[in-house]
């Protein structure tokens, strides 16, 4: 046990991004009631700037990696990668949210504060080195997301979405917490490195039944958060019901953070008992891919389609987790980065075409988009091609490295089944492209005004990142490869 409980300045600096965002979010909450109806816009600007500053702080903190707060959090290459990723997802979310909220007449400071709180939670999740800390981060992120999902409180769909998310989410976190308790009970530790040490110690005489039970309980919690089968049921309903920009955020930020903590727990503390996890991961990965892809085939609502698609993508990332290697970890990191950009980009387009009250979220609403808004159609095409996994987009290399990792780990069947799944996926993504480019717009369609500056910026940035990662994947992949081996 450390002697001194007071954090040193060095430790505070490592935690600075989270502290900054918490402070800014709190200030927004305080200022909110004081600002008039016209003053809401400044909150978007403030949160945007604070996220930019937090990204800069994360980069600075990465220059001096190490643990903080009695080893409860750790700043390493891995956590820096995910910290920046969730913050970038936050920036893009804010860009696509402002106009949406104004259109729905719901622009207010709380929204931005909640996004920031959620990001703080995710940052803690990705840098937690300790199960309780990890749980706190998860709750912080989740509770903010529950509220965001029901943000338009007069909208029935929003209410339904938020309630479902909250009830099932609480159910899942209970399992996770119960698993943590069992682990603490049998090993005496919640720190990941200590748990690993105990599990590796041949003299510690762990009861494997207890370990298995704890594994199962924790797996339930993690699998729920990443929407992996059989705990994916909530995702389509919640994603469809929540406001489009919130869905965009939920499908990338919390998911990336959940995968990050899943990876860290799996690759450090529980690495010695990885054979416990492997059958679960294997089965879940396959089931997740199959359910996601096949259910997506028959969807007519774009948000619901993208919800199933995001389940399918979680399945691919689960393949990387199953590989249980540094290459697999790097592949999952790269995939999550690619997925963040292409998915948030696709949701940016959905947010744009949905219009007020989200009346236009059916696939047929895309008809003739190539004529009505050629640039938007081209952008969505890039995102969809990337989600399909076409070469020279980010999605291709993501899948490429994941399946390579699976093959390297001798999981030939899983890799083959995964590739078949990604072939099926082409059907429903290309269907959207066909509707956009090869169907004439119907006469009743209302005029589409030019997208707002925020949506334009988010679309272009996401498209640029998608293509960049597809053409120069090594920039990110080299970094991921270097930070994939955790300090164990």
Partner 1 sequence: MNFLDLIWLIPIIPLIGAAAMLLFGRKLSKSAISIICPGAVGASFALSIGAVMQLASLPEKAHQVILYPWLPLLKADMGYLLDPLSSVMILVVTGIGFLIHVYATGYMAHEHGPRHGGFYRFFGYLNLFVFFMLTLVLANNYALLFVGWEGVGLCSYLLIGFYFHKKSAGDAGKKAFIVNRIGDAGFILGMFFLFQLTGSLKFTEVNEVLRSARFGPEAGVFGLLSLTALLLFIGATGKSAQIPLYTWLPDAMEGPTPVSALIHAATMVTAGVYMCARSNALFSLTPETSHIVAAVGAATAIFAASIGLVQNDIKRVLAYSTVSQLGFMFVAVGVGAYWVAVFHLYTHAFFKALLFLGSGSVIHAMSGEQDMRKMGGLKDKIPVTFRTMFIGSLAIAGIPGLAGFFSKDEILWQAYSNPVLGSKILWAVGLCTAAMTAFYMWRLMFMTFYGEGRMDEHTKHHIHESPKSMTVPLMVLAGGSVCAGWIGMPKVFGENGFMQALEHWLAPVFESGKEVAHAAAGHAAEAAHHDTTTEWVLMGLSIGAALAGILLARHVYLRLKESERPSGGVLYPVLYNKWYVDELYDFLFVNGLSLGGGGLMAKFDREVVDGGVNGTAWMTRLISRISMWYDTWIVDGAVNLGAFSVRAMSYPVRFFQTGFIQSYALVFLAGVLAIFGYYWWVH
Query: Residue 128 or 415: which CB sits closer to partner 1?
Result: 415
Taking contact as CB under 8 A, which single stretch among the options 82-90, 256-264, 293-301, 358-366 is the one that binds partner 1? 293-301
Among 81, 219, 222, 341, binds partner 1 (CB under 8 A): 219
Place of tokens 């300790």: 130
| 252 scored as a contact of partner 1 (CB under 8 A) | no
Find the helix packing angle between 374-388 and 453-471, rounded to 10°: 40
In the complex, what is the shortest distance from the CB of residue 337 to partner 1, in angstroms, rounded to a whole number? Answer: 15
Tell me the Ramachandran region of residue 390: left when phi exceeds 0, alpha when psi lies from -120 to 50, beta otherwise: beta
- Could you tell me the CA-to-CA distances from 436 to 75, 194, 198, 387, 420 in Å, in that order? 45, 54, 57, 16, 26
Query: What is the C-alpha separation between 93 and 86, in angstroms, rounded?
Result: 10
Query: What is the C-alpha separation between 470 and 461, in angstroms, rounded?
Result: 14
Residue 152, preceding bond cis, omega within 30 degrees? no
In the complex, what is the shortest distance from the CB of residue 407 to partner 1, in angstroms, rounded to a whole number? Answer: 13
Taking contact as CB under 8 A, which single stretch among the options 33-41, 226-234, 442-450, 479-487 is the one that binds partner 1? 226-234
Tokens for 36?
Answer: 């008039």
| 341 scored as a contact of partner 1 (CB under 8 A) | no
Short-list 243, 259, 430, CA closest to 334: 259
In the complex, what is the shortest distance from the CB of residue 211 to partner 1, in angstroms, rounded to a whole number? Answer: 10
Among 188, 474, 482, 488, binds partner 1 (CB under 8 A): 474
In the complex, what is the shortest distance from the CB of residue 427 to partner 1, in angstroms, rounded to a whole number? Answer: 8
Among 52, 391, 412, 442, binds partner 1 (CB under 8 A): 391
Among 31, 213, 419, 448, binds partner 1 (CB under 8 A): 213
Query: What is the C-alpha separation between 421 and 401, in angstroms, rounded?
Result: 16
> Would strands 73-75 and 66-68 be described as parallel, antiparallel, or unpaired?
antiparallel
Residues 361, 301 contacting (CB under 8 angstroms): yes
In the complex, what is the shortest distance from the CB of residue 342 to partner 1, in angstroms, rounded to a whole number? Answer: 17
Query: What is the C-alpha separation between 17 and 82, in angstroms, rounded?
Result: 13
Taking contact as CB under 8 A, which single stretch among the options 80-88, 142-150, 231-239, 320-328 is the one that binds partner 1? 231-239
| 156 scored as a contact of partner 1 (CB under 8 A) | no
In the complex, what is the shortest distance from the CB of residue 275 to partner 1, in angstroms, rounded to a whole number? Answer: 10
In the complex, what is the shortest distance from the CB of residue 96 to partner 1, in angstroms, rounded to a whole number? Answer: 27
Query: Residue 115 or 177: which CB sits closer to partner 1?
Result: 177
Taking contact as CB under 8 A, which single stretch among the options 32-40, 55-63, 365-373, 469-477 is the one that binds partner 1? 469-477
Give the number of other CB atoms < 10 A from CB of residue 143: 18
Short-list 202, 199, 220, CA closest to 210: 199
Among 15, 82, 146, 234, binds partner 1 (CB under 8 A): 234
Place of tokens 């619901």: 304
Residues in the chain: 488
Residue ranges in contact with partner 1 by CB under 8 A = 163-164, 167-168, 171-172, 175, 208-209, 212-213, 215-216, 219-220, 224, 229-231, 233-234, 236-237, 279-280, 291, 294-295, 297-298, 391-392, 434, 437-438, 471-474
């Amino acid at each position: 046990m450390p002697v001194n409980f007071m954090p040193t300045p060095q430790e505070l600096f490592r935690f600075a991004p989270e502290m900054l965002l918490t402070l800014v979010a709190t200030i927004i909450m305080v200022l909110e009631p004081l600002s008039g109806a016209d003053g809401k816009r400044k909150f978007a600007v403030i949160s945007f700037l604070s996220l930019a500053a937090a990204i800069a702080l994360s980069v600075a903190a990465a220059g001096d990696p190490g643990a903080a707060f009695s080893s409860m959090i750790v700043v390493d290459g891995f956590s820096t990668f995910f910290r920046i990723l969730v913050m970038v997802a936050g920036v893009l979310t804010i860009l696509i949210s402002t106009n949406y909220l104004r259109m729905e007449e719901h622009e207010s400071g709380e929204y931005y504060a909640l996004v920031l709180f959620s990001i703080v939670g995710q940052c803690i999740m990705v840098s937690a080195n300790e199960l309780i800390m990890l749980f706190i981060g998860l709750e912080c992120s989740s509770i903010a997301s529950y509220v965001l999902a029901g943000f338009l409180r007069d909208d029935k769909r929003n209410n339904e979405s938020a309630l479902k998310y909250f009830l099932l989410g609480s159910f899942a976190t209970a399992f996770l917490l119960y698993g943590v308790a069992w682990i603490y009970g049998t090993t005496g530790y919640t720190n990941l490195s200590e748990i690993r040490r105990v599990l590796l110690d041949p003299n510690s005489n762990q009861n494997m039944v207890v370990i298995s039970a704890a594994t199962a309980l924790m797996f339930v919690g993690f699998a729920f958060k990443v929407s992996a089968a059989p705990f994916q049921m909530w995702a389509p309903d919640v994603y469809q019901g929540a406001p489009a920009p919130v869905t965009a955020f939920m499908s990338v930020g919390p998911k990336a953070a959940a995968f990050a903590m899943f990876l860290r727990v799996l690759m450090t503390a529980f690495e010695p008992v990885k054979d416990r996890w492997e059958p679960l991961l294997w089965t879940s990965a396959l089931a997740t891919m199959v359910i996601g892809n096949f259910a997506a085939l028959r969807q007519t609502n774009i948000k619901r389609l993208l919800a199933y698609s995001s389940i399918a993508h979680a399945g691919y990332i689960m393949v990387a987790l199953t590989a249980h290697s540094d290459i697999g970890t790097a592949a999952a990191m790269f995939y999550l980065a690619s997925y963040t950009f292409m998915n948030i980009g696709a949701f940016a387009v959905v947010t744009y075409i949905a219009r007020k009250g989200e009346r236009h979220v059916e696939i047929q609403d895309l008809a003739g988009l190539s004529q009505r808004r050629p640039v938007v159609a081209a952008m969505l095409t890039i995102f969809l091609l990337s989600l399909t996994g076409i070469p020279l987009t980010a999605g291709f290399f993501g899948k490429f490295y994941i399946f390579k990792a699976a093959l390297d780990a001798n999981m030939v069947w899983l890799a083959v089944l995964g590739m078949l799944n990604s072939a099926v996926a082409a059907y429903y993504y290309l269907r959207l492209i066909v509707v956009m480019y090869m169907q004439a717009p119907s006469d009743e369609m209302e005029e589409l005004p030019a997208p707002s500056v925020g949506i334009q910026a988010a679309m272009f940035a996401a498209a640029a990142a998608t293509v960049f990662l597809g053409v120069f994947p090594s920039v990110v992949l080299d970094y991921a490869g270097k930070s994939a081996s955790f300090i164990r």
